[in-house]
């Protein structure tokens, strides 16, 4: 897959930002430190192409803006991993900005178009210390114990694109960010699991930038979180989608059209891969990852049964642009219907957002326990028999003996594995299924 990786890398550079030949002025520079990364935001008066280069020997990130000038003053002090900043104006109008770093790093960038009246064009550069996020889980085990699996969480929509809007005015972009932030927190508490967010605030992100971010960090899974809307306000429940190029139902196609339309809002053009490159990448890897995506989707759907209604009891296929990362298993979860007044009310509550996030977590965890990527801590723990390969979420009408029968394990083993005080179950309860 080296060739494909190379092509993908090339595309990432071609993808960066848009349009105009007129020079852009960098009018403001913001640098902020997060748990996992340092983010530099350049605010521009117009959109302009940029490219990103990461150097390892003398750790630094170089951003070239094809035609631009610096109007903002550079921060006097470093922030996070960025030690200092400098710039150079090249002949031909190119503006080079250099961020010197404390340690070797990886970096990714994306451009955001101007949205509301006060918003400017932005180039966002995320710089990650090499080796990923130094969180508690990682500090607790060394590299030889196996790496963490990385889950890329993608809260749908954002900024000028609110997504679906409920009757009481709730925005999809807001509730799905809430669910996603909760999910990221839960994942980071799991041994052997790590999370990244494609967006962690209310800003607009192109669909392709979303999975490019996941790919640049070598994510093991991509989960796009949404809330659906439909004219018939009685309809409710969750659905899980994976990518299909064709052969999807009419309803799935309509939904995909609406979710994909986000990229055209505000006149921002989709940047397509050159067709020949696109075909090659997709042919190489898409089929393999759709199989894995179906498996994750299945697990997540099973666990969503424990939360509320599930609209479609099997994983659906639709041509979502955001799921087109050819080499990462990807699912899109429509958590509930924001158009249904009852679900709109629930979606806004911390309790329901938490329930959904927990269902997503357990679905994702079950998938990784059943299919641990080689070289990960989870793979080692599964091999050592330290963690169960399977989990089950209790549904209405389930009994302990019924579940024991289904998985061919004795009831007492089920009780012991889950430290149950008695044989009563509650709906949504997660049971570890011990090896039979």
The answer to whether residue 166 forms part of the interface with Zn ion (CB under 5 A) is: no
Q: State the binding string over 189-228 for Zn ion (x if CB under 5 A, else -).
A: -------------------------------------x--
Does residue 346 contact residue 203 with C-beta atoms inside 8 Å? no
In the complex, minimum distance from the CB of residue 116 to Zn ion, in angstroms, rounded to a whole number = 20
In the complex, minimum distance from the CB of residue 206 to Zn ion, in angstroms, rounded to a whole number = 14
Nearer to Zn ion by Cβ, of 164 and 378: the residue is: 164
Nearer to Zn ion by Cβ, of 259 and 343: the residue is: 259
In the complex, minimum distance from the CB of residue 226 to Zn ion, in angstroms, rounded to a whole number = 3
Does residue 399 contact residue 427 with C-beta atoms inside 8 Å? no
Size of the site for Zn ion (CB under 5 A): 4
Among 113, 129, 146, 156, binds Zn ion (CB under 5 A): 156
Nearer to Zn ion by Cβ, of 114 and 318: the residue is: 318
Nearer to Zn ion by Cβ, of 189 and 254: the residue is: 254
- 169 backbone φψ class: left, alpha, beta (φ>0; ψ -120 to 50): left
d(CA 158, CA 172): 9
In the complex, minimum distance from the CB of residue 181 to Zn ion, in angstroms, rounded to a whole number = 17
Name every residue whose Cβ is closer than 8 Å to that of residue 227 and which is 6 or more positions away in sequence. 156, 163, 164, 172, 175, 176, 334, 335, 336, 337, 338, 343, 347
Nearer to Zn ion by Cβ, of 168 and 279: the residue is: 168
In the complex, minimum distance from the CB of residue 394 to Zn ion, in angstroms, rounded to a whole number = 29
Nearest C-alpha neighbor of 238 from the set 168, 170, 175, 313: 313
d(CA 285, CA 168): 42
Does residue 241 contact residue 252 with C-beta atoms inside 8 Å? yes
Give long-range contacts, CB 8 A cutoff, 24+ apart: 394-400: 394/306, 394/425, 394/426, 394/427, 394/428, 394/429, 394/430, 394/431, 395/305, 395/306, 395/427, 396/427, 398/425, 398/427, 399/423, 399/425, 400/425
Segment near Zn ion (CB under 5 A); pick from 14-22, 82-90, 160-168, 296-304? 160-168
Q: State the binding string over 390-429 for Zn ion (x if CB under 5 A, else -).
A: ----------------------------------------
Which residues from 274-293 bind Zn ion, rule CB under 5 A?
Answer: none
Lookup: tokens for 261: 């339309």
CA angle 180, 183, 187 (to 5 degrees): 140
Phi, psi of 412 (to 5 degrees): -60, -35
Nearer to Zn ion by Cβ, of 266 and 373: the residue is: 266
Name every residue whose Cβ is closer than 8 Å to that of residue 297 and which is 6 or more positions away in sequence. 240, 241, 242, 315, 331
3-state helix, strand, coil in the chain (%, to 5): 35, 25, 40
Nearer to Zn ion by Cβ, of 78 and 162: the residue is: 162
In the complex, minimum distance from the CB of residue 147 to Zn ion, in angstroms, rounded to a whole number = 31
Among 59, 163, 166, 363, binds Zn ion (CB under 5 A): 163
Nearer to Zn ion by Cβ, of 138 and 259: the residue is: 259
Segment near Zn ion (CB under 5 A); pick from 79-87, 162-170, 215-223, 388-396? 162-170
Nearer to Zn ion by Cβ, of 204 and 392: the residue is: 204
In the complex, minimum distance from the CB of residue 78 to Zn ion, in angstroms, rounded to a whole number = 38
d(CA 182, CA 350): 9
Nearer to Zn ion by Cβ, of 149 and 338: the residue is: 338
The residue number with the shortest CB distance to Zn ion is: 226
Which residues from 243-272 bind Zn ion, rule CB under 5 A?
Answer: 259
Segment near Zn ion (CB under 5 A); pick from 4-12, 141-149, 157-165, 193-201? 157-165
Nearer to Zn ion by Cβ, of 95 and 300: the residue is: 300
Per-position b or e across 115-141, b if 16+ CB within 10 A of its CB: beeeebbbbbbbbbbeebbeeebbeee
In the complex, minimum distance from the CB of residue 259 to Zn ion, in angstroms, rounded to a whole number = 5
Nearest C-alpha neighbor of 159 from the set 125, 120, 196: 120
Segment near Zn ion (CB under 5 A); pick from 3-11, 155-163, 304-312, 427-435? 155-163
Nearest C-alpha neighbor of 197 from the set 133, 293, 103: 133
Task: Note the residues at the interface with Zn ion (CB under 5 A).
Answer: 156, 163, 226, 259
């Amino acid at each position: 897959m080296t060739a494909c990786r190379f092509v993908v890398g090339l595309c990432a550079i071609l993808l960066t930002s848009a349009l105009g030949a007129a020079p852009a002025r960098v009018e403001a520079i913001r640098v902020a430190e997060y748990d996992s990364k340092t983010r530099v935001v350049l605010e521009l008066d117009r959109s302009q192409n940029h490219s990103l280069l990461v150097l390892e020997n003398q750790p630094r990130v170089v951003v070239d803006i094809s035609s631009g000038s610096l109007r903002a003053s550079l921060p006097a002090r470093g922030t996070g991993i960025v030690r200092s900043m400098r710039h150079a104006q090249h002949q031909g109008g190119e503006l080079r900005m250099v961020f010197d770093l404390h340690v070797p790093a990886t970096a990714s960038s994306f451009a955001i178009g101007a949205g509301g009246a006060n918003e400017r064009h932005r180039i966002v550069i995320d710089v990650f210390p090499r080796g990923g996020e130094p969180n508690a889980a990682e500090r607790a085990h060394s590299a030889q114990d196996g790496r963490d699996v990385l889950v890329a969480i993608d809260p749908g929509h954002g900024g000028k694109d609110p997504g679906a809007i409920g009757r009481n005015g709730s925005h999809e972009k807001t509730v799905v960010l809430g669910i996603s932030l909760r999910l990221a927190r839960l994942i980071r508490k799991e041994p052997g699991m790590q999370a990244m967010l494609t967006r962690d605030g209310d800003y607009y992100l192109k669909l392709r930038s979303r999975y490019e971010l996941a790919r640049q960090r070598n994510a093991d899974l991509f989960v796009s979180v949404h809330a659906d809307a439909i004219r018939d306000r009685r309809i409710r429940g969750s659905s899980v989608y994976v990518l299909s190029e064709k052969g999807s139902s009419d309803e799935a196609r309509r939904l995909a059209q609406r979710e994909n339309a986000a990229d055209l809002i505000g006149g921002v053009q989709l940047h397509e891969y050159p067709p020949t490159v696109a075909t090659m990448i997709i042919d190489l890897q898409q089929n393999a990852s759709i199989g894995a995506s179906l498996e994750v989707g299945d697990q997540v759907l099973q666990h969503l049964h424990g939360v509320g209604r599930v609209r479609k009891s099997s994983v659906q296929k639709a041509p979502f642009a955001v799921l087109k990362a050819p080499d990462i298993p990807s699912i899109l979860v429509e958590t509930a219907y924001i158009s249904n007044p009852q679900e709109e009310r629930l979606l806004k509550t911390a309790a329901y957002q938490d329930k959904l996030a927990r269902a997503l977590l357990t679905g994702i965890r079950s998938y990784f326990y059943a299919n641990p990527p080689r070289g990960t801590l989870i793979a080692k723990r599964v091999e050592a028999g330290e963690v169960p390969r399977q989990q089950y979420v209790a549904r209405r009408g389930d009994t302990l003996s019924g579940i024991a029968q289904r998985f061919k394990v004795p009831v007492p083993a089920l009780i012991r594995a889950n430290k149950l005080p008695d044989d009563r179950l509650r709906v949504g309860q997660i049971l570890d299924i011990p090896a039979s």
